[in-house]
Structure 1
Amino acid sequence: MLVLTRKKGESIMIGDSIELVVIGVEGDLVKLGIRAPKSVEVYRKELYDSIQSSNKEATERTVLAQDLSAFFRKEK
C-alpha cells in the first residue's frame, strides 16, 4: 500500500483523470473530494462491499424452471 501525506487543499492524481483532494480535516475525520469521469464508479468501501456481497448472493441462487413457470402463470 502506498501511503502519502497531504495537507488541506492538496491533492493526489490517480492516472490521468482521477484527482483526490483533501477538503478538510476535523479530528480523526478526513473529508476528500474526488474528481473523476462519470464513467468511473466511486463508492465508499463499506457500500462497495455490500454491493459485491449482494451480487454474489444473487448469482448463487438457483431458480428452477418449474418455479419460473409457476411465477409467470399466476393470475394478476
Structure 2
Amino acid sequence: MLVLGRKPGEYIMIGDNIKVKVVKSENGDLRLAIDAPREVTITRGEVWEEQQKVAIS
C-alpha cells in the first residue's frame, strides 16, 4: 500500500486517466474528488466490504 500526504488542492494521478484530488468542504472536512472514465467502477470502502460479504455467503 502506498501512503501519500496531500494538501487541499493537490492531487495524484493513477495511470494516465484517473485523477484523485483532495478538496476541503465548507465545514473543514477533507474530501476526495475523483475524475475517472465512465467505465471505471468507483465504490466506497464500506460498500465494497459489504458486497464482498454477500458474495462469499
For normalisation by structure 2, the TM-score amounts to 0.81
Equivalent pairs counted in the alignment come to 55
- For 2:22 and 2:14, locate their aligned partners in 1 and report how far apart those are by CA, in whole Å: 14
Q: What corresponds to 2:46 in structure 1?
A: 46
- For 1:43 and 1:4, locate their aligned partners in 2 and report how far apart those are by CA, in whole Å: 20
Q: What corresponds to 1:20 in structure 2?
A: 20
- For 2:55 and 2:7, locate their aligned partners in 1 and report how far apart those are by CA, in whole Å: 37
Cα displacement (A) at 1:24: 1.1
RMSD: 1.4
Q: Percent identity?
A: 42
- Matching residue's letter, 1:43: T
Q: Which runs of 5+ in 2 are unaligned?
A: none
For normalisation by structure 1, the TM-score amounts to 0.64
Cα displacement (A) at 1:15: 0.9
- For 2:48 and 2:18, locate their aligned partners in 1 and report how far apart those are by CA, in whole Å: 18
